[in-house]
């Protein structure tokens, strides 16, 4: 996975396009920061750092992450939650250790896992199969 950094003065947002499921939580949450029609499409200084961090935490797939200037990163919730969507995806939040398709282990706070087995980005959902077709990524 390749994360592209978008540095700001107080917060850096990183984005992994392979993980993005286009839930649009970022665009709806802070359109002045996240605008897919603009380049660069993420401008972290367009809103207060705490607001940027709060919107990044809404990203269900974990495609977006943040790090504040002081080194603060997202802390997982005390309890891990796993929710199955009606189409079969598993939306997870917590202190997650996920074994990826290449056998490596990823440390995550948020992830949406494939429930149908068709994803080309296993174990993450990529909308390739039946479990990613409802558009609510």
- pLDDT at position 129: 86
State the CB neighbour count (10 A cutoff) for residue 72.
12
- pLDDT at position 131: 81
- pLDDT tens digit sequence for 77-118: 999 999 999 989 999 999 999 998 889 999 999 999 999 999
- pLDDT at position 2: 81
- pLDDT at position 1: 55
User: End-to-end distance of the chain based on CA atoms, in angstroms?
Assistant: 18
Instruction: Tell me the pLDDT band of 137, cut-offs 50, 70 and 90.
Output: very low
């Amino acid at each position: 996975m390749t994360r592209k950094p978008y540095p700001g003065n107080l917060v850096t947002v990183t984005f992994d396009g392979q993980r993005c499921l286009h839930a649009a939580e970022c665009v709806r949450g802070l359109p002045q920061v996240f605008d897919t029609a603009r380049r660069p499409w993420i401008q972290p200084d367009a809103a207060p750092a705490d607001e940027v961090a709060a919107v990044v935490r809404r990203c269900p797939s974990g495609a977006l992450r943040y790090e504040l200037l002081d080194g603060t990163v997202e802390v997982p919730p005390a309890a891990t939650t796993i929710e199955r969507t009606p189409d079969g995806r598993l939306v997870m939040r917590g202190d997650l250790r996920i074994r990826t398709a290449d056998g490596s282990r990823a440390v995550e706070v948020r992830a949406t896992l494939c429930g149908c087995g068709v994803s080309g980005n296993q174990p993450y959902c990529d909308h390739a199969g039946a479990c990613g077709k409802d558009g609510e990524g």
